[in-house]
Amino acid sequence: MVTVCDNCSMFSIKRFLWREYCLMSRTFCRDHVPSRTQTYAVWRVFHTSACEQHHHLPTSRIPRIRVAMYDHCKRPKFTVCVEGNIGSGKTTLLEYFASVGDVEILAEPVDKWRNVNGHNLLDLMYKDPHRWAHLFQAYVQLTMMEQHLKNTLSPVKLIERSLYSARYCFVENLYREGKMSEAEYNVYCQWYNMIVQNMDVGVDLIVYLRADPEKVFERIKKRSRKEEQLIPLEYLKDLHALHEEWLIEGKHPLPAPVLVLNANEDLPVMERIFKENAASILCSNQLKESASTN
């Protein structure tokens, strides 16, 4: 339940939507609604204001904020998203850079998708996408938003996929295939627009691991992940086409420059490609410029 102090003005509807999305309970005052770039730090803003200016509220009504995790660490200077089809080598890239330099690695939160209070949403979605696609993608959007907002001590944060690829590749594919209804699609897109327009989820670089659908299909069969065994080649071709539309052809908005890497090669060659492009992937030049200006 959202409460409004009698002495305060109407709270922002956008913050209300954000609060609903995060399943929080909070007291809002216009004077203390965080700006767009401060939204990720609302715990500090509202915890302080609730304690100091809303002391007339009983303890049970003081906001219980679940995003305190975002307030403890220094925000990274640069955020890099690693994009690509299923089986394109994203995990391989993240593992390579985990041992190179001062980098925070955030893999896809697959474990969360597999266990939502005992429910494996990922498995349910693959088995019956018409029934579960919208619910699954709504949860993906929530968990990816957490990835974008999470603060780190490292100057560079590498994220496996992003809010953007979820929207322009996976959700778009489900909608085009008729596995997500028009009503579900519109609701999802409204949530997406609210998040990207009002929260600090920007990125500085997109690394696109570009691989042929036939190649990633072969890799998927070899690694034998339970939920992926039902994935047909046609699905991978559709996802590849959507990645190309977004990252190569520019049919959807790009939040950052794109670095395209050939991901059809075997592991030794891929590691050499990662090494050759390490400076770009880790935003080394930008970090130097930032350090010199500071």
Asked if 92 and 109 sit in the same domain, the reply is yes
Mark which of 50, 70, 90 sits at the end of a domain: 70
214 is catalytic: no
Q: How confident is the model at residue 290 (pLDDT cuts 50, 70, 90)?
A: low
Q: What is the pLDDT of residues 64-106, one digit of tens each?
A: 334 444 444 444 579 999 999 999 999 999 999 998 878 999 9
pTM recorded for the entire structure: 0.73
Mean pLDDT check: name the lowest of 110-119, 197-206, 280-289. Answer: 280-289
For the cut 50, the answer to whether the pLDDT of residue 9 exceeds it is: no
Asked if 65 and 118 sit in the same domain, the reply is no
Average pLDDT value for the chain? 79
CA distance 251 to 190: 19
Q: What is the pLDDT of residues 256-273, one digit of tens each?
A: 999 999 999 999 999 999
The CA radius of gyration of the chain, in Å to the nearest whole number, is 21
User: 206 - beta bridge partners?
Assistant: 81, 258
Of 83, 104, 160, 172, the active-site residue reads 160
The three-state secondary structure class of 155 is: coil
User: What is the predicted pLDDT for the residue at 230?
Assistant: 79
CA distance 216 to 221: 9
H helices present in 81-181, as ranges: 90-98, 110-114, 121-127, 129-149, 163-165, 172-176
Q: 81 is in which domain, residue-wise?
A: 74-293
For the cut 50, the answer to whether the pLDDT of residue 13 exceeds it is: no
Higher pLDDT, 16 or 227: 227
Mean pLDDT of 129-158: 95
The three-state secondary structure class of 256 is: coil
Asked if 228 and 151 sit in the same domain, the reply is yes
CB neighbours (10 Å) of residue 203?
A: 19
Q: ∠ CA 236-239-241 to the nearest 5 degrees?
A: 110
Q: How confident is the model at residue 24 (pLDDT cuts 50, 70, 90)?
A: very low
Asked if 265 and 139 sit in the same domain, the reply is yes
Q: How confident is the model at residue 291 (pLDDT cuts 50, 70, 90)?
A: low
Asked if 91 and 116 sit in the same domain, the reply is yes
**CATH code for the domain in which residue 119 is found:** 3.40.50.300
Q: Which stretches does DSSP call E strand in the chain?
A: 3-4, 27-28, 78-84, 103-106, 156-160, 205-210, 258-262
Asked if 11 and 82 sit in the same domain, the reply is no
Closest CA to 153 of 246, 57, 228, 72: 72
User: 261 - beta bridge partners?
Assistant: 209
Mean pLDDT of 240-263: 97
Q: How confident is the model at residue 26 (pLDDT cuts 50, 70, 90)?
A: very low
Asked if 21 and 86 sit in the same domain, the reply is no
